[in-house]
Amino acid sequence: MSIANNLNHIKKQLPEHITLVAVSKTKPIEAILEAYDAGQTIFGENKIQEMVDKYNVLPKDIKWHMIGHLQRNKVKYMAHFVDLIHGVDSFKTLKEINKQAKKHERVINCLLQAKIAEEDTKFGLSFTDIEKILTSDELKELENVNIIGLMGMASFTDDMDQIKDEFNKLNVFSDRLKTQDPRLKILSIGMSSDYPLAIEYGSTMVRIGSAIFGVR
Ligand SMILES: *Cc1c(COP(=O)(O)O)cnc(C)c1O
């Protein structure tokens, strides 16, 4: 199937309120343009340099989401254009994003990455640490970042019950935060292998790569 066909197939399954991030990491410019020509305008990358290179040559109405683990010293390269940063997992990183956003007189939208997977390889904050950040006085001083929700990655497993558990606990936590602060409206969960499940568990934003662009 073509990229356009894949996109249409996925979009048909997504309820209206769910945002589709097309994850284009490692994929060439031509593939992104094919998706863009089919109407997709939000793309996700996991490496800052690769995202910058693509931003420079692609249409400027594309919204770029950084979905990967952040190297603090590289935040400055994307601060003038990044639309949403999904993988914020420390207050230090938030401070750096704020500093770089300020230089460009921007407010950068961020998601806090929650650790929901069992394995050690996944980055992310505990629910306790997320609440600490959200209620801290230091956060109020960061006027150039705007936290608008949470991001999570389920364990890399075929065990759907485990993935369900992980999505469920994040969804419950996210709902609780939302009642305290309605600005935290985004829940970024769901990838090619698990997005139908993520939708059942409150996802408002799915990050889909291989089901659109083919295997990497
Ligand atoms: C690569 C990646 C995705 C997309 O994965 P697919 O399995 O290709 O859909 C989603 N989220 C993050 C954080 C990723 O790094």
Single-letter residue type at 177: L
* Residue of 24, 116, 191 to test ligand 1 pocket, by largest number of atoms within 8 Å of CB: 191
Res. 54 pLDDT band, cuts 50 70 90: very high
pLDDT at 121: 65
| pLDDT tens figures, 166-184 | 999 999 999 999 999 999 9
Average pLDDT over residues 1-27: 96
SS3 of residue 61 by DSSP: coil
Q: Which helix (H) or strand (E) holds 19?
A: strand 19-23
Task: Decide: 206 in ligand 1 pocket, CB within 6 A.
Answer: no
Q: Which atom of ligand 1 is nearest to the CA of 207?
A: 10
Angle 29-37/48-57 helices, nearest 10 degrees? Answer: 60
Q: Which atom of ligand 1 is nearest to the CA of 46?
A: 15
CATH number belonging to domain 3-213: 3.20.20.10
pLDDT at 122: 64
Residue 154 has pLDDT above 70, yes or no: yes
Average pLDDT over residues 9-22: 97
* Residue of 9, 14, 67, 122 to test ligand 1 pocket, by largest number of atoms within 8 Å of CB: 67
Residue 2 has pLDDT above 80, yes or no: yes
| pLDDT tens figures, 90-127 | 999 999 999 999 999 999 999 999 999 987 766 899 99
H-state helical runs in 142-194? 160-180
